[in-house]
């Protein structure tokens, strides 16, 4: 609180002396009395603080507005930069896509031209996605035969004994199939899944032990490679029938599993006299050029 200002004032009081013939002569005595007058005035601190607070308040408001403006500016700049990068990346992606389309069109054109040259050589189209043409022999199969690798295969419709089936294959300038590799076994096993109509609808192959029991040989008289066999379960079991109707036992081999074979094991020995369908094979006719897969 501000201190009261002290003001001094002189107050004079007149006192008369009574006398008969005297005139009244005033006598003046001076008496001092202190009168305090309180004047309320703002303190120096209050006078100085109020304007400063107004200035600080105004300054804080201006500073906050600047900060908000700067943040918005930074965010806007970041958004613009991101938009520029996105636009650039999209443009580059579109350009790469156009280049790929152009390359695809060029490859398709080259492939079409190559295949048109192959029509006179092979009726079987390559199954690989990117065929490669080399200056070598290609293989062509006659009508009714299917090409796989360098061989042609014929899957008979009619059923006959093993010997009759072999004679039919020879009449077509081929023989009952000889399986030389796991890859060839894979091809035949998968192909038979589509051709078999029931579980017993199996096919004769060119393998027999009719000459010497237990000594399996192919139709070209080569011995069976024991590291390349695909017997199913306990085969061969050389069964002689329910009442030994076939004392010679099962001396010929048929293959096939309608539902697919585990580990490609679908060879079964059977009575050579039973009628079954058969698989004939012969070498393909050569020509030029040849399509291979890398």
pLDDT digits (tens, 9 = 90+) for 113-143: 555 545 444 445 555 666 665 554 577 899 9
Region class of 228: left (phi > 0), else alpha (psi between -120 and 50), else beta: beta
Model-level pTM greater than 0.85? no
3-state secondary structure of 124: coil
Residue written as tokens 């490669």? 132
pLDDT digits (tens, 9 = 90+) for 19-59: 444 444 444 444 444 545 444 455 544 444 555 555 455 55
Each domain of the chain, given as residue ranges in start order, spans: 131-293
Distance, CA of 125 to CA of 121 (rounded, Å): 11
Domain range 131-293, CATH architecture: Roll (3.10)
Asked whether 269 and 208 are in contact (CB, 8 A), the reply is no
Please give the backbone phi and psi of residue 89, each rounded to the nearest 5 degrees, phi first: -65, -40
Pairing of strands 267-270, 175-176: unpaired
Stated as kind and residue range, the H or E segment containing 32 is: strand 27-36
Question: Residue-wise over 81-93: b if at least 16 C-beta within 10 A, else e?
Answer: eeeeeeeeeeeee
On the question of a cis peptide bond just before residue 201, with omega within 30 degrees of 0, the verdict is: no
Quick one: pLDDT at residue 91? 82
**Across all residues in the chain, what is the average pLDDT?**
78
Quick one: pLDDT at residue 266? 97
């Amino acid at each position: 609180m501000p201190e009261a200002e002290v003001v001094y004032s002189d107050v004079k009081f007149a006192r008369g002396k009574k006398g008969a013939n005297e005139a009244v002569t005033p006598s003046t005595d001076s008496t001092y009395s202190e009168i305090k007058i309180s004047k309320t005035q703002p303190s120096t601190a209050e006078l100085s603080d109020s304007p400063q607070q107004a200035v600080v308040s105004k300054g804080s408001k201006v500073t906050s507005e600047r900060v908000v403006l700067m943040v918005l500016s930074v965010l806007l700049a970041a958004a613009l930069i991101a938009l520029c990068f996105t636009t650039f990346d999209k443009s580059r992606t579109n350009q790469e896509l156009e280049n790929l389309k152009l390359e695809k069109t060029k490859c398709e054109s080259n492939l079409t031209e190559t295949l048109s040259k192959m029509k006179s050589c092979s009726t079987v189209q390559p199954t690989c996605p990117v065929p490669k043409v080399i200056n070598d022999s290609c293989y062509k199969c006659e009508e009714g035969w299917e090409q796989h690798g360098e061989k042609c295969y014929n899957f008979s419709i009619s059923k006959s004994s093993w010997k009759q089936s072999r004679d039919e294959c020879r009449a077509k300038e081929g023989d009952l199939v000889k399986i030389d590799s796991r890859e060839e076994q894979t091809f035949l096993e998968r192909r038979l899944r589509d051709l078999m109509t029931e579980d017993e609808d199996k096919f004769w192959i060119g393998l027999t032990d009719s000459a010497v029991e237990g000594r399996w040989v192919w139709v070209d008289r080569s011995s069976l490679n024991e590291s390349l066999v695909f017997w199913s379960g306990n085969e061969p079991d050389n069964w002689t029938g329910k009442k030994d109707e076939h004392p010679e036992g099962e001396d010929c081999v048929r293959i096939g599993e309608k539902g697919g074979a585990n580990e490609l094991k679908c060879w079964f020995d059977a009575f050579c006299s039973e009628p079954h369908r058969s698989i004939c094979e012969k070498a393909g006719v050569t020509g030029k050029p040849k399509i291979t897969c890398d």
